[in-house]
A and B are shown apart, each in its own frame.
Chain A
Amino acid sequence: MPEMDRLDRIEQRLLSEACHWVPPQEVARELETGERHPFDALLREDRIPHIWCPGCGLGTALSCFLSALTQTEFELDKVCVVSGIGCAGRVAGYVRLDSFHTTHGRAIPFATGLKLANPELKVVVFSGDGDLIAIGGNHFIHAARRNLDITVICVNNLNYGMTGGQVAPTTPIAARTSTTPYGNYEPPFNLPYLAAASGAIYVARWTTLHVRQLEHTLIEALGKRGFSFVEVISPCPTLYGRSNRLGSGLDMMRYYREKSIVRHAADPREADLYFGGPILVGTFVNLDRPSYLEFRDWLWRETHYGQRREAVLEKLRPADREGEP
């Protein structure tokens, strides 16, 4: 079967990409007594230990975010992290940045207020799939439509962790959760497709196995002007994993290694997740169109200086959205 051969070749490439990463020396070596970890300044040590379970991918996702942040030029005092509710919602409480742990599903509109009231802020929404896509789904699509100048990091563990492993709008068909004891029969959202269709200018997906790629992607996403979206597939061995006999966090890493297919610029429509199926990862969308703030400020300026509205409209003809990375 040629298709299987193709997938095999892609998997081989993935293995070489995902597993041959040598961690930076300053992070990986053991710390001397009293020495500080490079991320200490970015973490609230007084809140450690965190609440996340052994094997959970949230720590990895957070590390990648912090690592990415330190590799950007952003003034850290201007970086805000906004989270909703759930396991991923606790990220805001662990970062030593201006950070907001808001209500369930409402991180994006809260972030909208922050960003629009002070465009100098670099606003990052860090939350989970249930928070951002179920209860907060409406805000998600509208922020993407507006091309609001924020970065949304969605840690997707395929279920509701904080409340004990219930079905989410991301749970694959047939997967067992505490509220789908006979298997899930609701088709899940394909998050990259949802984000892209809603207007996001940057859409990427990695698993928590792909730390290096994720870090690189986050650097890229943070640098975009407009709505950038990064999905991080993360293990939940305590709940989703246990309900579906997927083994430990390490077993999940093996699964990601075996099943992930790196395909940059892939059509996000092909990024559906199936139970036990392949995981399409990579940067799917990376294009430029005027961000909310660019659009608005330009239009306001133009109209306030009395230019003809037609001239403005001509300039604002939809940007070419076919552009690929």
Chain B
Amino acid sequence: MPEEGTLVGEHFISGDVACAEGAIAAGCRFFAGYPITPATEIAERMAERLPKVGGVFVQMEDEIASMAAILGASWAGVKSMTATSGPGFSLMMENLGLGIMLETPCVVVNVQRAGPSTGLPTLVGQGDMMQARWGSHGVYEIIALSAASPQELFDVTITAFNLSEKYRTPVLIMTDEAVGHMTERVVIPPPEEIRLVSRRRPNVPPDRYWPFAVDEDLVPPMAIAGEGYRFHVTGLTHDERGYPMTVAAAQVRYVQRLIDKIRRNVDDIVIVEEEGTEDAEVIVVSYGISARVSLLPIRQARAEGLKVGLLKLVTVWPFPEKRVRELAGQVRALVVPEINAGQIALEVERCAAGRAATILVPHLGGDIIHPDAILEAIREGARGGTYA
């Protein structure tokens, strides 16, 4: 018998609701958030569901507080999440950095809308992809995932929690309004079929525990508050004991590890999905709703006899550099449709390094990219065209 409150089977739900259910299935038991279109439904679902599974929902006074609260909850030993959209995402940036510095597992969902500023609150955008990578100050690596359907959003939310627990770092889910508000069939597997990862806990007595002492896998075991470890953590650059060490040498010695724990594990973190890339001459590289929109023009182009494939980025950050480099060596062009003025296209172009053309299909948001624009770019790529 599944635990009370566990949801399984087929459901007709929106992406936002699927995200909330994915979090609950992943063991998330703390949600702090602030209402914002188009992410509000995640908070509403969590408010209804968490008390029934022994979890805690709290609506905070703003997104700064929401981000801080999920870090606090994580240090109390509970898997935690917040969800927002562009304006709130901007407010979360400082404490996202705290999460990275304190190596705090948690998940932040950004249901992207069109910006800048208040922009188009109810309409789709993908303009926060570079903010996801660089939005908090300082030097760091980040994990960000994306999803192209409610089912994928459910699945990817579980993956996000697993990665955050495994690597002790905040993980971003960069979905978008179109996916968040799309209502479709979502299959929730029984709990025993869902693989869950939990943070490593210290196996030494408190007097020998240092919060940031690592072994070969670069991710230190995490004590939680109230267990007698009497640890100290700080957002200042710190040593293995968690004590401030505010000198240049400490950056090299301790902050480098925060970067390395992601960079040295890219093969484990990077997830991409491919379709028809084996013999492709043009590959569409995309993510989120734009990857889904690309399916139609790809089919149309194949009907025209063009050899086209799709590289869908499930992991956006760290950027799937290795695979894009490989593919750039075998194709004429990489077509990048995204609902912004060119963000992930810059990464694709960097990795292609001139071996294949990178053709951006930009769109400023408000609606999804017209499939014809992608089809045109595919044809252009097949003709040997260059960066649009």
Q: Which single residue of chain B is at the shortest CB-CB distance from A98? A: B225
Q: How far is the CA of A93 from the CA of B211 in the complex (A)?
A: 13
B58 touches which of A96, A101, A102, A116 (Cβ 8 Å): A116
- Interface segment, one of A31-39, A107-115, A184-192: A107-115
Give the residues in chain B near A103, CB-CB below 8 Å. 68, 94-95, 97-98, 235
Q: Which positions 212-243 of chain B face chain A at CB distance < 8 Å?
A: 225-236, 241, 243
Q: Which positions 37-81 of chain B face chain A at CB distance < 8 Å?
A: 51, 56, 58, 60-62, 64-66, 68-78, 80
Any chain B CB within 8 A of the CB of A279? no
B30 touches which of A78, A97, A101, A113 (Cβ 8 Å): A113
8 A-B pairs, CB-CB below 8 angstroms? A44-B243, A93-B244, A100-B234, A111-B72, A112-B60, A113-B70, A117-B77, A118-B76
Q: Which single residue of chain B is at the shortest CB-CB distance from A141? A: B61
User: Known interface pairs A98-B229, A101-B235, A300-B51. Does A106 touch B95 (Cβ–Cβ under 8 Å)?
Assistant: yes
Looking at chain A's contact residues, is the secondary structure mostly helix, strand, loop, or mixed?
Answer: helix
Q: Which positions 126-156 of chain B face chain A at CB distance < 8 Å?
A: none
A117 and B30: CB pair below 8 A? Answer: yes
Q: How far is the CA of A116 from the CA of B95 in the complex (A)?
A: 18
Kindly provide the distance from the CB of B201 to the nearest chain A CB, expressed in whole angstroms: 15
Give the residues in chain B near A82, CB-CB below 8 Å. 72
B78 and A118: CB pair below 8 A? Answer: yes
Looking at chain B's contact residues, is the secondary structure mostly helix, strand, loop, or mixed?
Answer: mixed
Q: Which single residue of chain A is at the shortest CB-CB distance from B55? A: A117
B226 and A110: CB pair below 8 A? Answer: no
Any chain B CB within 8 A of the CB of A30? no
B226 touches which of A98, A102, A112, A300 (Cβ 8 Å): A98
Using a CB–CB cutoff of 8 Å, the interface residues on chain A facing chain B are: 44, 46-47, 77-78, 80, 82, 92-93, 95-103, 105-106, 108-118, 120-121, 138-139, 142, 300, 304
Q: How far is the CA of A304 from the CA of B65 in the complex (A)?
A: 28
B232 and A102: CB pair below 8 A? Answer: no
Any chain A CB within 8 A of the CB of B356? no
Greatest chain B CB density within 10 A among A98, A101, A102, A300 is at A98
A116 and B235: CB pair below 8 A? Answer: no
B233 touches which of A44, A95, A101, A115 (Cβ 8 Å): A101
Q: How far is the CA of A78 from the CA of B230 in the complex (A)?
A: 9
B228 and A113: CB pair below 8 A? Answer: no
Any chain A CB within 8 A of the CB of B32? yes
Give the residues in chain A near B65, CB-CB below 8 Å. 106, 108-109, 112, 138-139, 142
B226 and A117: CB pair below 8 A? Answer: no
Q: How far is the CA of A304 from the CA of B76 in the complex (A)?
A: 26
Q: Which single residue of chain A is at the shortest CB-CB distance from B61? A: A142
Greatest chain A CB density within 10 A among B66, B71, B230 is at B230
Q: Which single residue of chain A is at the shortest CB-CB distance from B72? A: A113
With A109-B60, A115-B72, A139-B68 known, 6 other A-B pairs at CB within 8 A are A106-B94, A113-B69, A114-B72, A116-B58, A116-B69, A117-B76
Q: Which single residue of chain B is at the shortest CB-CB distance from A293? A: B56
A117 and B61: CB pair below 8 A? Answer: no
Give the residues in chain A near B235, CB-CB below 8 Å. 101-103
A101 and B72: CB pair below 8 A? Answer: no
Give the residues in chain B near A92, CB-CB below 8 Å. 232, 234
A101 and B232: CB pair below 8 A? Answer: yes
A112 touches which of B72, B75, B228 (Cβ 8 Å): B72
User: Known interface pairs A80-B226, A300-B51. Does A100 touch B68 (Cβ–Cβ under 8 Å)?
Assistant: no
| 3 nearest A-B residue pairs (beta carbon) | A113-B72, A113-B69, A109-B65
A121 and B226: CB pair below 8 A? Answer: yes
Give the residues in chain A near B229, CB-CB below 8 Å. 98
Q: How far is the CA of A155 from the CA of B367 in the complex (A)?
A: 51
Q: How far is the CA of A57 from the CA of B94 in the complex (A)?
A: 30
